[in-house]
Amino acid sequence: MQHILLLHGAIGARDQLQSLADNLKDEYIVHSINFSGHGGEAFQEDFSIPHFAGDVLNYLQQNKIKQTNIFGYSMGGYVAMHLAKYHAQFVNKVITLATKFYWDEAVAAKEVKMLDANIILEKVPAFAKQLEQRHLPNDSKTVLEKTKKMLLQLGADNTFKLEDYKNISSPSLLLLGEKDKMISLEETVAVQKALPNATFKLLAGMPHPIEQADVNLLSSLIKEFVR
């Protein structure tokens, strides 16, 4: 059986991908990890895409996995692309969902506003509680602050320029929800066109949050692509 590794998004954790993992386990050896500082994992250093890619490499090497397919949700998709570019020997195929590829200072400033711990607590206390529980024993406020710093750094100097994608040879499937308000169709299609071997699919009616994704549809698309 082929391996597939599931990567969560910013301020998220592996538990959010459990239903997807359950849907894939009949055809693949399924793996998922928490990036450092997430889901209770210890903080190692400041958050960054290369650092999270290092978390993946450590996992693959520790588990003697020579090559895997990678599904990345949101930020996880960015990490998957980083691995496909700089550590291609470990990567078979890449599937991304709701990944934000375009960053500049204005985009980063907008995204950072949504990560203010006090505003989250005031406006969506249930989500604040969820974040608190998800990252225990870590302080979820620290997760938010480190994520904000990472996004501002991406805004100042994006990890990937559009021309960087031409050097990624792994077959890639880019998925975007039709109702995703965080990710533009234009930025996703631009990356799809820049990649040498990529396809794009717009998912009708799907918003950004992974909890609202159609897991049956998603697992079906992944299976069809990876086969």
Strand partners, 157: none
pTM of the model: 0.95
Rounded CA separation 193/66 (Å): 29
Query: Residue 202's pLDDT is what?
Result: 97
Per-residue pLDDT of the chain (227 residues; tens, 9 = 90+): 899 999 999 999 999 999 999 999 999 999 999 999 999 999 987 899 999 999 999 999 999 999 999 999 999 999 999 999 999 999 999 999 999 999 999 999 999 998 988 889 888 999 999 999 999 999 999 999 999 999 999 999 988 889 999 999 999 999 999 999 999 999 999 999 999 999 999 999 999 999 999 999 999 999 999 98
Give the SS3 label for residue 210.
Answer: helix
Query: Residue 103's pLDDT is what?
Result: 94
Rounded CA separation 111/62 (Å): 34
The secondary structure of residue 48, as a DSSP letter, is: -
**140-156 vs 105-113: helix axis angle to the nearest 10?**
170
CATH superfamily of 2-101+160-226: Alpha/Beta hydrolase fold, catalytic domain (3.40.50.1820)
